[in-house]
Amino acid sequence: MKQSFFVFVVLTAAFFLQGNILGQESSMERGVAISEQTQECITCHNISNAGIVEDWRSSRHAQMTPEKAVVKPKLERRISSDSVPDSLKSVAVGCYECHSMNAAEHPDTFEHFGYVIHTVVSPNDCQTCHPEEVEQYSGSKKAHALDILQKNSVYHNLVVTTTRVKEFTDGQLTHSKASETTKNETCYACHGSRVSVKGTKIIETYLGDVEVPILTNWPNQGVGRVNPDGSRGACTACHPRHSFSIEIARQPYTCSQCHLHPDVPAWEVYKESKHGNIFFSKQHDWNLNNVPWTVGKDFNAPSCAVCHNSLLVTPDEELIVQRTHDFGARLWVRIFGLIYSHPQPKSGKTYEIRNQNGLPLPTTFTGELESEFLIDEEEQTRRQKEMQKVCQNCHGANWVRGHFVQLDTTNMEADQMVLAATQLLQQAWDEGLADPANPFDEAIEQKWIEQWLFFANSVRYASAMGGQDYATFKNGWWELTRNLQEMQDRIGLKAK
Amino acid sequence: MKQSFFVFVVLTAAFFLQGNILGQESSMERGVAISEQTQECITCHNISNAGIVEDWRSSRHAQMTPEKAVVKPKLERRISSDSVPDSLKSVAVGCYECHSMNAAEHPDTFEHFGYVIHTVVSPNDCQTCHPEEVEQYSGSKKAHALDILQKNSVYHNLVVTTTRVKEFTDGQLTHSKASETTKNETCYACHGSRVSVKGTKIIETYLGDVEVPILTNWPNQGVGRVNPDGSRGACTACHPRHSFSIEIARQPYTCSQCHLHPDVPAWEVYKESKHGNIFFSKQHDWNLNNVPWTVGKDFNAPSCAVCHNSLLVTPDEELIVQRTHDFGARLWVRIFGLIYSHPQPKSGKTYEIRNQNGLPLPTTFTGELESEFLIDEEEQTRRQKEMQKVCQNCHGANWVRGHFVQLDTTNMEADQMVLAATQLLQQAWDEGLADPANPFDEAIEQKWIEQWLFFANSVRYASAMGGQDYATFKNGWWELTRNLQEMQDRIGLKAK
Amino acid sequence: MKQSFFVFVVLTAAFFLQGNILGQESSMERGVAISEQTQECITCHNISNAGIVEDWRSSRHAQMTPEKAVVKPKLERRISSDSVPDSLKSVAVGCYECHSMNAAEHPDTFEHFGYVIHTVVSPNDCQTCHPEEVEQYSGSKKAHALDILQKNSVYHNLVVTTTRVKEFTDGQLTHSKASETTKNETCYACHGSRVSVKGTKIIETYLGDVEVPILTNWPNQGVGRVNPDGSRGACTACHPRHSFSIEIARQPYTCSQCHLHPDVPAWEVYKESKHGNIFFSKQHDWNLNNVPWTVGKDFNAPSCAVCHNSLLVTPDEELIVQRTHDFGARLWVRIFGLIYSHPQPKSGKTYEIRNQNGLPLPTTFTGELESEFLIDEEEQTRRQKEMQKVCQNCHGANWVRGHFVQLDTTNMEADQMVLAATQLLQQAWDEGLADPANPFDEAIEQKWIEQWLFFANSVRYASAMGGQDYATFKNGWWELTRNLQEMQDRIGLKAK
């Protein structure tokens, strides 16, 4: 007792005097062996990239060996493989362990001061220890997020129409090709870019000139990034380098990087919801790092991860829901990104859908579902029940039931408000006031897009997650109504 | 000393090792007796709704008996009744204590595994221990927030015009009736819904089928909710279930659920103000739980509650201002929600106001005040002085004076910018370019609404609470000016 | 050991029982002598303005004498003077020390209960101990922020056109003069007002009537405030009274008071960036108070101050970058506030620039640079390298290089999107559809302003700081494109 007490005093004093949790954690690293190679990485990169090294030092990767991680009780495990290669077992998961993994499969592999490493550590590398996560993710829409914009001709047209540079020539607007840079910084920033190797170059560093591969569309950390090794996804999109923290991934701030106003206002709706209120008010008391994650003990209101993907247990360690890295797996209805709400698609490769007009969309422009590609009612019910298991930890069955019924009504009404806009647009097309050849490039078409992509999405999210102003004045019913009026006036104006 | 020191070490260690404040607090519960009935509630609901039980365990209600609460020194008391019923005195305020209170008055009372309970605990129940708070609240605008939208014909028209589903039929926009769901998720989400009982139904739960009352317009937690027992308000709107925390209610995140951009941008203005800056930067050092709440010790900049309703004391325990649950009680001028700024109404039942044109509004459309229903100058001065007592804790008298003078000027100028918009609208009506029958349903009328409901409100809030961009580009003078220009162009365009 | 352990226990217990860091810090004050004069200030103001006194008690000024501050190792110093006046050396920096400094130079100096003090403590006073900071600041654009709006005729016109009250008279919009109040609460709230003395007045306080100077345009805390003593700036804009905290100044919340959506969306872009995600997720582990500030130890992602002005060291205490209070000193390109991006101006007095059309702007309306007033390529490169030193702590050289190349492309493309809008506006002017006399007061001109001041700025910031939605739908390429379409339609409509 005496000794442990001394340790306690020292640690606590360090906390108060330094406020330095990172330092505290890195002192724990002493107990874990670091491979010789990683040690050598650190020797140099400690000087040139101290932030990377320190961030890693604060990570679980630095403080735990795979052989210890793998024998934890099932509910406490943060590693889904039951075995790990011998070479990795007894050392920290350090620079060299990841950046040298599967070297032969990486076109960005290069020789670096005697080591053969690659820049872009990919899900294919991570799955050495985390195979379940990678497998779940690989089937999800997130993994195919880039293809969803590039291989879906409708969406690709929207990307290009929006991002190409416009010029004013001979009294009218023309346009050039959309640049890779702009696509990377806009749509592909979240959806991911295609990173490939185009030769090598010499770059100047603190340590002199170094030859490195030239990567196209780099940097990028989008969820559907296509990596040089052909794998899809960037685990660092949610577990940022180099702490790869579960705590950060569970923070709503992580999801909010992409799921935000005006097209996907999940974050803003959460912020104005009761759930958000409790999170922001009480997060200093929460533990976002524990595994398993205990309702009422570790947190007392949901963050995004609670409802959508985390493994949850009761204070009695009863399993509530399993972890999933397919972030749509608990969802039955899809409420954003498309013209109308619809049952979740069966496959993450949504660009393979064909509706009755031959377009890669789950509905027609007037809302008819293409059910063949969408989950059926039974699967919808199953997922609703899964989600309700989460809700019922803090809400009575009556409350939950009422909430789900309201969401159904709202989705239907939001769809009706989109249909009215579509019919107005059709009238504009019929009367020759706009040209349907490209449905995304004229002023009235832009209003139609905003009707579904901004305003209908907003009221659906507001219903799903309990945000009041996003249903009302902030891109909600006020805008749905105002925008229809504007569309009507515009048609009337020109039609006379 | 030795023993308390041991306790201290254990508690602190628990904090660091677990980060589990909730757990720590619930261990304090052991000292407080729990009624047999509540104990039985917990036995089942611990399984079916662990989050509810744990949240309650972390609450003061679980850790304190009314008989101990009632004998605290006046300034430290969180309970305003001087006596509590004998049956409640010596047990924690648990599930059964609240959900069985005043059973006969609750139409939603039902039999549940041998106990007679009701779903909706109402202010009428809470006032058993908190009578002052309920009395103050009951007279306020918040308590009548639903009636203000339903019994005020002008506002009811705005609600319905905005939220009804529009359809495109035979070449023009028509509309159906606004659904209860949509009204509940939009305006009534903050203002409150009318919850009543319509028979019973069987619902499926973890514990098998259970018969419960059918509640209309449920769930809802709006501030003016009309409860099945006829009482008005939902204490949980600000003190969320089931911790009923004063800490959460004092967080600006609570008020921000409803008082937010674009119609009531109190939250956004606070965020960009110096006050907000200090709150966000230093809140980790603040104590939002202490009663009384000490300026400079517990906090060093205001949150909403500091200025608008909390009991504040100096470090020498001198009273600065009394607590109030009438949230308009320190306000002299009303700067949102209506066409023009005006003195605060005398009564929370603002739907009883009649202006000289017979409308339930405190001014005419062109700004003439209906003074009979509004507080007089003497009362305005009294309230200004009350508020200034708060300001002067951190600001010199000269600073405070200057601030209040600026606010007067800004309110006047914002009103002038609304008047110009109203006169433009009148011209549109006079010229037959729009139809005054419904002043809320045409494009130019929507611009007029935005002029007062969004833009004028924004500059007034920005002035009142020190937000710079809400006075300027973000719904401020930029928009006030741009919108007038748009209205003028639109009239000119059609008038020629 | 025994005694220090006891102190530790007491302090820690105080923390847990009171959550009162402020109290804890103020107990440290006992070790520091307070001047007799300041002691007397506190005696009264402790009653009338307890918040001010407590905030000061929590400050470093209260807990440290200049003579101790001045002998710290260079990297740890928070004071840049090598010597301080004898009278200040051995007492805390209290009320009297600052409010009596340089009395003769302050027109707002007045007699107050036997002391000669002034209200507005200015940079000229602060430089007694902090000369380097004041000197750097004085040359910066911030110090001249008011002149930039008042002495630059183009910008002054924009201020006045936006903020003057509009009236509807005889069927058309007219306008009166913009009020000082409104200018102070809008543009000058950030840019600063001109504070001068116009006689004295008697004000009512807790302590009876007191004669004080009448200050014009007060209160104000803008960065370019012109103080009664003629000095420029308000140190309290970032180090708010009366803790003058480095911790608050380093928080992004401080910068966000002015650098925010829609005209300068630095804050909103940061919030949606990976950097922001890590800050919000992990700030509870950070130390924002340490000097020097250590990468990876004190923080693991940048706040505004990290990149733009703080002194940074590696964990081995190697200097990375020097502190600067010229907040543009690490910047090579200017991406906001003007029509086109351009190299940073050489002088903070940007109102002295004259372009080839004689306007005080760094480019013409069509984008030709006025290089004479702007830094050259060599200086641009030097600053880029300085900034890259910061980036490279957490990013590989390849990543950093790619990021900077993308920013160049984005700035160029955003400029092209502004040029197209300018050419559309020119066409409107040429065709007599708008009047170029005032380029800021007609609807199509307002659209042109939004193209550069809101939308082009947004995509540039999104590129510079890694925000995805500000490049896309939230004032990004979507708006750049939509706005051009609207401008074209408007011209076409009227032109026919």
Nearest to A442 among C271, C416, C485 (CB): C485
Is C5 an interface residue toward B (CB < 8 Å)? Answer: no
pLDDT at B17 over 90: no
- In the numeric block, which tokens belong to residue C292? 């020097």
Alpha carbons B56 and C470: distance in angstroms, whole number: 41
Q: Hey, of B253, B487, B489, which one would you mutate to test binding to chain A, going by the most A CBs within 10 A of its CB? A: B253
pLDDT at C22 over 60: no
Nearest to A53 among C296, C318, C398 (CB): C296
Torsion-angle region of residue B152: left (phi > 0), alpha (psi -120 to 50) or beta? Answer: beta
Is B415 an interface residue toward C (CB < 8 Å)? Answer: no
Rounded to 5°, angle at Cα A114 from A112 and A120: 35
Q: Hey, of A170, A181, A212, A264, which one would you mutate to test binding to chain C, going by the most C CBs within 10 A of its CB? A: A181
- In the numeric block, which tokens belong to residue C113? 């209960």
- Give the mean pLDDT of B90-102: 98
CA distances (Å), origin A14, targets A2, A21, A24, C4, C246: 18, 8, 7, 14, 21
Alpha carbons A173 and C44: distance in angstroms, whole number: 69
User: According to the model, what pLDDT value does residue C24 have?
Assistant: 38
Nearby residues of C172 by Cβ (< 8 Å), 6 or more positions away: B488
DSSP A178: P
Is B414 an interface residue toward C (CB < 8 Å)? Answer: no
User: According to the model, what pLDDT value does residue B13 have?
Assistant: 41
Q: Where are the beta strands (DSSP E) in B244-326?
A: 293-294, 312-313, 319-321
pLDDT at B23 over 50: no
How many residues in chain A?
496
DSSP B440: T
- Residue B269 CA from chain centroid, whole number: 17
φ/ψ (deg, to 5) at C299: -160, 155
User: According to the model, what pLDDT value does residue A458 have?
Assistant: 98
Q: Which amino acid, residue B343?
A: P
Residue ranges of C 367-406 with Cβ closer than 8 A to chain A = 392-399, 401-403, 405-406
Q: What is the pLDDT of residues B306-327, one digit of tens each?
A: 999 999 999 999 999 999 999 9
- Give the mean pLDDT of B446-458: 98
DSSP A35: -
Nearby residues of C12 by Cβ (< 8 Å), 6 or more positions away: A12, A16, B8, B12
A281/B162 CB distance under 8 A: no
pLDDT at C308 over 80: yes
C167/B416 CB distance under 8 A: yes
pLDDT at B335 over 70: yes
Q: What is the pLDDT of residues C372-411, one digit of tens each?
A: 999 999 999 999 999 999 999 999 988 999 999 999 999 9
Question: b vs e for C2-28, b when ≥16 Cβ sit within 10 Å of the residue's Cβ?
Answer: eeeeeeebeebeebeeebbbbbbbbee
- Give the mean pLDDT of B378-406: 95
pLDDT at C158 over 80: yes
Alpha carbons A295 and C337: distance in angstroms, whole number: 48
Which residue in A has a C-alpha nearest to residue B238's C-alpha? A274
Q: Where are the domains of chain C?
A: 21-64, 129-233, 241-495
Which residues of chain A fall below pLDDT 70?
Answer: 1-30, 493-496
User: According to the model, what pLDDT value does residue C6 have?
Assistant: 44
CA distance C447 to chain B (A): 9
CATH architecture, domain defined by A246-495: Up-down Bundle (1.20)
**The residue to which tokens 């995140």 are assigned:** B253
SS3 label, residue C205: strand
- In the numeric block, which tokens belong to residue A9? 């005093």
* Residues above pLDDT 70, as percent of chain C: 93
A74, with CB counted inside 10 A (0-12, 13-18, 19+), is: exposed
Q: Mean pLDDT for chain C?
A: 93
* Residues above pLDDT 70, as percent of chain B: 93
User: According to the model, what pLDDT value does residue C30 have?
Assistant: 52
Give the pLDDT band of residue C226 (cuts 50, 70, 90). Answer: very high
Alpha carbons B284 and B301: distance in angstroms, whole number: 13
User: According to the model, what pLDDT value does residue B493 have?
Assistant: 53
pLDDT at B6 over 60: no
What sign does the CA torsion over B482, B484, B490, B496 have?
negative
For residue C215, what is the enclosing H or E element? strand C208-215
Alpha carbons B221 and A282: distance in angstroms, whole number: 20
User: According to the model, what pLDDT value does residue A204 have?
Assistant: 79
Alpha carbons C417 and C344: distance in angstroms, whole number: 21
Q: Which amino acid, residue B439?
A: P
Please give the CATH topology (third level) of the domain spanning C241-495.
Hydroxylamine Oxidoreductase; Chain A, domain 2 (1.20.850)
Nearby residues of C443 by Cβ (< 8 Å), 6 or more positions away: B482, B485, B486, B489, C490
- Give the mean pLDDT of B332-352: 97
Q: Three-state secondary structure along C16-67?
A: HHHCCHHHHHHHHHHHCCCCHHHHHHHHHHHHHCHHHHHHHHCCHHHHCCHH
User: According to the model, what pLDDT value does residue C13 have?
Assistant: 40
Nearby residues of A466 by Cβ (< 8 Å), 6 or more positions away: A269, A273, A274, A275, A403
User: According to the model, what pLDDT value does residue B30 have?
Assistant: 52
User: According to the model, what pLDDT value does residue C172 have?
Assistant: 87
Chain B contacts of A297, Cβ < 8 Å? 20, 22-23, 54
Q: What is the pLDDT of residues B209-250, one digit of tens each?
A: 889 999 999 999 999 999 999 999 999 999 999 999 999 999
Chain B contacts of A471, Cβ < 8 Å? 182, 185-186, 189
User: According to the model, what pLDDT value does residue A492 have?
Assistant: 82
Is A5 an interface residue toward C (CB < 8 Å)? Answer: no
pLDDT at C208 over 80: yes
pLDDT at B20 over 50: no
Give the pLDDT band of residue C167 (cuts 50, 70, 90). Answer: very high
SS3 label, residue A487: helix
Alpha carbons C362 and C352: distance in angstroms, whole number: 10
CB C77 within 8 A of CB C246: no
Is C410 an interface residue toward A (CB < 8 Å)? Answer: yes
Q: Hey, of B160, B257, B450, B494, which one would you mutate to test binding to chain A, going by the most A CBs within 10 A of its CB? A: B257
User: According to the model, what pLDDT value does residue C467 have?
Assistant: 96
Complex ipTM value: 0.93
Q: Hey, of A173, A186, A206, which one would you mutate to test binding to chain C, going by the most C CBs within 10 A of its CB? A: A186
Is C45 an interface residue toward A (CB < 8 Å)? Answer: no
**pTM metric for this prediction:** 0.93
Alpha carbons A20 and B10: distance in angstroms, whole number: 22
CB C117 within 8 A of CB C105: no
For residue A199, what is the enclosing H or E element? strand A197-205
Q: Mean pLDDT for chain A?
A: 93
- Give the mean pLDDT of C75-97: 96
Q: What is the pLDDT of residues C107-154, one digit of tens each?
A: 999 999 999 999 999 999 999 999 999 999 999 999 999 999 999 999
